[in-house]
Homo-oligomer: A and B are copies of this chain.
């Protein structure tokens, strides 16, 4: 195979993994590694410190480098660096989901103009092969839906909340101690990380550009130990789900929010930091890809897989044509208010006779049928805990019903509203 030279931008978790995996590789040579701090102690045996530079532009301008591997994350300076690298005819391997979601269109167009490719298997679901299978084995399919667990931190938190019936805050603290959650966990727990990933994954799978700014995104911070318990009793697990679906009207419905997933759905069994992507298409039906969604070595597996793919095609006039994206078709994205869902509503109500009737009456007036109602005994304030699962109804109707319920005298408060997977 053609020997190739790579330049690595970033030597954090993923970068360290890449160096370890390529240590004994004779055909892929790491020419240069850009780091923030040259003197920092690294967890790599026999690292040749001559490879290190604090100037990443040394890599993107280096004529000896064939492939730039970017693993610093964030939009700047990554965006500028990759544009320079592409203009210098270098192929790109990146794990940067935020950059792809926000600036993918410009990057992919620039890559097409310069006849280089951008591969990013590591950016979505870490070690799980998902982009390449969609672009190759499933290339004959029309993909209609993706439902995925794309964030390990939140899945870990939800799993622990469910297993131990403890609060979100307690588990977050533990996850931070264990290194599964960052000191500032906002990007994970508010769903932004999942949104970046589903934006790019949906763009690839549905073959039209999904705008990150139009993705309705909710995190897991409002999920309570009670929600977990009630969901469990009703035969569900709560997961942070990234969805992308073509509607009957050919709109594109992309969103990230917690969902009650039925125990019979395999996504309900995906626990801890594991990620999973359920792909639905014609003719294949439903296929599941699951595995480690983050971490030094799994992510390095995907980065190195991409480097090898480029290496195999580097002599071609048109390298990896199927991996080139264009963003010409802009998805017509459905607003969350126009979606239809089943819902879980957790309500604290006055413990007076007829309160369930009141809830049913208000919902009914907003065209919402109730599939099941659970009364969960009397709380200290002489109020009752009531859990409702609705039939499929309009998001706008449920929002109106919730407003009316909140204003009703017999309702103390709405504790939570969570969408339910069919």
Give A contacts to B, CB under 8 Å: 17, 20-21, 121, 127-129, 131-133, 136-141, 266, 269, 281-292, 295, 297-298, 300-302, 304-309, 312, 316, 321-322
Contact = CB atoms under 8 A, between A and B. Distances in A.
Contacts of A302: 137, 284
A20 B283 contact: yes
A290 B292 contact: no
Contacts of A321: 312
A5 to B, nearest CB: 17
Nearest to A283: B297
Among A17, A138, A301, the one with the most B-chain Cβ atoms within 10 Å of its Cβ is A301
B308 A139 contact: yes
12 contacts: A17-B283, A129-B129, A129-B137, A132-B133, A133-B133, A136-B305, A136-B309, A137-B302, A140-B308, A284-B297, A288-B291, A316-B316
A21 B316 contact: no
Contact of A127 (B20, B284, B322): B284
A127 B289 CA distance: 12
A285 B140 contact: no
Given A129-B138, A137-B129, A137-B132, A291 B284 contact: yes
Contacts of A141: 301, 305
B139 A305 contact: yes
A309 B137 CA distance: 8
A289 B289 CA distance: 5
A284 to B, nearest CB: 4
Contacts of A304: 139-140, 283
A26 to B, nearest CB: 13
Nearest to A305: B137
A288 B287 contact: no
B266 A290 contact: yes
Contacts of A295: 285
A127 B269 contact: no
A290 to B, nearest CB: 4
A309 to B, nearest CB: 6
Nearest to A306: B137
Contacts of A137: 121, 129, 131-133, 301-302, 305-306
B283 A287 contact: no
Nearest to A281: B301
B138 A136 contact: no
A382 B141 CA distance: 60
Given A129-B138, A312-B321, A288 B290 contact: yes
